[in-house]
Amino acid sequence: MKALLVVADGMADRPIKELDGKTPLEVARKPAIDFIAQSGICGIVDVISPGIPPGSDTGNLALLGYDPFKYYSGRGALEAIGWGLEVKKGDVCLRCNFATVDENLIVLDRRAGRISNEDASKLAESLQRVDLSESSVKFTFQNTIQHRAVLVLQGSNLSTAVSDSDPKKIGMKVLEVRPLEKSFEASFTAKILNELMQKFHNVLKNHEVNVDRINRGLPPANIVLFRGAGNIPCIPTLSEIYHVNAASIAATPLVRGVCKVAGMRVLNVEGATGTPQTNYLNKAKAAVQALSEDNALVFLHVKATDVASHDGDYMQKILIIEKIDNMLSYIIDHVNLEEVYIAITADHTTSCVTRNHEGDPVPLAIAGPYVRRDDVKEYNERSCAKGGLGRIKGINVMPTLMNLIGKAEKFGS
């Protein structure tokens, strides 16, 4: 027995007036997803806890079975790992922005005009060559998408108890990084980050890429802002907990990071971009392939539903749900339903009205040979609330699946 867990990011929603009080899931035509609900058991899930809006990091950690209140240690490390950087225990990771400041270090643009990947890559290469005065500490700086970047500090005596240099608002001066506790490690780490900030600024302010940007009328990326210092979460892998091999299909660096710390094999899929234009069919094929291999669990994540929700574009969200349905249709047609449990849920509700993550529960359906099939006929927020699973928590989903495929360990004797 094997399990496929499909997570559509932010797919759950609230009733929308322009849709006659229905949600995008209630409007979308989605025969394959409804088939999972009809032939399976349904319920609703508080991914974190009733009323608490999950982040994408905490939400996916919870759906993989990890209590985020226990294991979550910041987004920085997850994103760095997801981007392919090697992060070890004790390394301190920070999320970074290329930004634009004036001569007094007042922030003029927190995203340096959403600098291109090309420009950011050239700048990052130069920054990686900076020498730190403390030879015991090494750093890795890497740009990711547009203005975004990650910084990993490696060495002994490092701490995550340091403040951000990012003032988070334009018109404010870049902040000095301060220790957040009275320890040598925190002071030491703050000193290194302040040194890096200054040395990065010195490299950037006269860098030829920025001279060229100014000539082109673009804001120079003349500083790097640091925030969210965090460690790699110290969690047992899925293989350690359930003795299964697991594979993950996800494009978003943050979700790839979550899957990596959970010890999953993170697959690369041609055309999977984390955008509404992602290649749904290739993701489906990759899932079918992974299920045909030695993976008892395959995790398939689609980001596009969340993107549409944050844009408030409920019509696009409906279309994306229909594309996800096509993806599921391919999978249903190409796996042995006597052998594979298919579950579909969301990591949180994202409202097309508020354009934010919300704390409303998400629907869950699980189809497979031995589920206690209920009488829910459609997959959506309201119908699943009447299902046989009732209302469970995010951290209950993975044990529920592992139980169905015979991989849950008995407690007691």
Residues contributing to the site for its own copies (CB under 8 A) = 14-15, 21, 23, 44, 48-59, 61, 68-69, 72, 75, 228, 351, 353-354, 356-360, 370-374, 381-382, 385-386, 388-393, 396, 398-403, 406, 408-413
What whole-number distance in Å separates Cα of residue 41 and Cα of residue 400? 11
What whole-number distance in Å separates Cα of residue 257 and Cα of residue 81? 5
Q: Pick the closer one to its own copies by CB: 224 or 398.
A: 398
Question: Which amino acid belongs to residue 384?
Answer: C
> Could you tell me the smallest distance in angstroms from the CB atom of residue 359 to its own copies?
4
Q: Pick the closer one to its own copies by CB: 78 or 124.
A: 78
Q: Pick the closer one to its own copies by CB: 138 or 168.
A: 168
Q: Pick the closer one to its own copies by CB: 99 or 352.
A: 352
Task: Check: CB of residue 300 under 8 Å from CB of residue 7.
Answer: yes
> Could you tell me the smallest distance in angstroms from the CB atom of residue 380 to its own copies?
9
Q: Pick the closer one to its own copies by CB: 160 or 210.
A: 160
Q: Angle at which helices 253-261 and 56-63 pack, to 10 degrees?
A: 40
> Could you tell me the smallest distance in angstroms from the CB atom of residue 194 to its own copies?
24
- Residue 293 gets which letter from DSSP? T
What whole-number distance in Å separates Cα of residue 85 and Cα of residue 144? 11
Q: Pick the closer one to its own copies by CB: 228 or 263.
A: 228
Q: Pick the closer one to its own copies by CB: 1 or 106.
A: 1
Q: Tokens at residue 48, please?
A: 């974190």
What whole-number distance in Å separates Cα of residue 281 and Cα of residue 195? 47
Inter-CA distances, 226 with 108, 270, 317, 340, Å = 16, 32, 33, 44
Q: Pick the closer one to its own copies by CB: 104 or 411.
A: 411
Pairing of strands 349-350, 340-345: unpaired
Strand, coil or helix: 47: coil
> Could you tell me the smallest distance in angstroms from the CB atom of residue 372 to its own copies?
5
What whole-number distance in Å separates Cα of residue 171 and Cα of residue 88? 36
Task: Check: CB of residue 178 under 8 Å from CB of residue 190.
Answer: yes
Find all residues with CB under 8 Å of 248, minimum gap 6, and list them. 255, 256, 259, 264, 265, 266, 267, 298, 299, 300, 301
> Could you tell me the smallest distance in angstroms from the CB atom of residue 137 to its own copies?
26
Find all residues with CB under 8 Å of 398, minimum gap 6, and list them. 5, 63, 64, 65, 238
> Could you tell me the smallest distance in angstroms from the CB atom of residue 134 to its own copies?
29
> Could you tell me the smallest distance in angstroms from the CB atom of residue 236 to its own copies?
16
> Could you tell me the smallest distance in angstroms from the CB atom of residue 58 to its own copies?
3
What whole-number distance in Å separates Cα of residue 39 and Cα of residue 22? 23
> Could you tell me the smallest distance in angstroms from the CB atom of residue 104 to its own copies?
30
